[in-house]
Amino acid sequence: MSRALFVILIGLGGAAILISLGVWQVQRLTWKQGILAEINGRIEAPAVPLPEQPDPKEAAYLPVKVTGSFEGQTLRVLVSQKDQGAGYRLITALNTGDRRVLVDRGYIPNEAAAPPLPDGPVTITGNLQWPQETDSFTPAPDIDGNIWFARDVTAMSQLLQSEPVLVVARALSYDAAPVSPLPVDTSRIPNDHLQYAITWFSLAAIWAAMSLYFLRRRAKTES
């Protein structure tokens, strides 16, 4: 086999592999967009009453409306918001009369003073979520200082003596300022397939250009 033919085969083979990887990422992009559209549709659906025993899989992102009274301690989860800086998510137990669940009331800036809990019944419209935010690297909460580093629904529900059910508020029936809801959305679900596809297609173009360069260089050397 001549060296020129070898370069051609390597060039075509390498470009074909890189292009196939780019096409695969485009297919993954379409798949991921379908999943995100399904999740967004579920998040934005009309709110329903809180199920008696919500299943973490079947009731994921389920929009619900609950009415009750906030009571007990409010837990603070350290977070950071773009253009706003560090602050806390506020997690409080809501007593609906026949059950007690957790409510993520939203974000408050670090320098702001938490407002007192509203007196009497309030209505919360939001979505159910079982966030998997803890792992072996998550620091243990500072219980005495009331600073948590992730929403650990199981541990929080035990501390606040509620069901291990978290309603992330989207809308509140009262003026919660300076607390602002941080509703469930899909912004934190990674979808980098377009960037990956562009990378693979760019590498394919570079590979083909370099193969062509070597062929031309060899042709000039032999002429």
Domain positions in the chain are 3-39+190-222, 62-172
Most trustworthy range by pLDDT among 64-73, 79-88, 134-143: 64-73
CA gap 186, 31 in Å, rounded: 15
> Are the CB atoms for 108 and 87 separated by under 8 Å?
yes
Q: Percent of the chain having pLDDT more than 90?
A: 63
CA gap 172, 107 in Å, rounded: 13
79-92 average pLDDT score = 88
pTM of the model: 0.80
pLDDT digits (tens, 9 = 90+) for 190-199: 889 999 999 9
176-195 average pLDDT score = 89
pLDDT digits (tens, 9 = 90+) for 129-138: 987 788 888 8
The secondary structure of residue 163, as a DSSP letter, is: -
Residue where the block lists tokens 């607390």:
179
71-84 average pLDDT score = 89
Paired with 92 in beta bridges are 74, 103
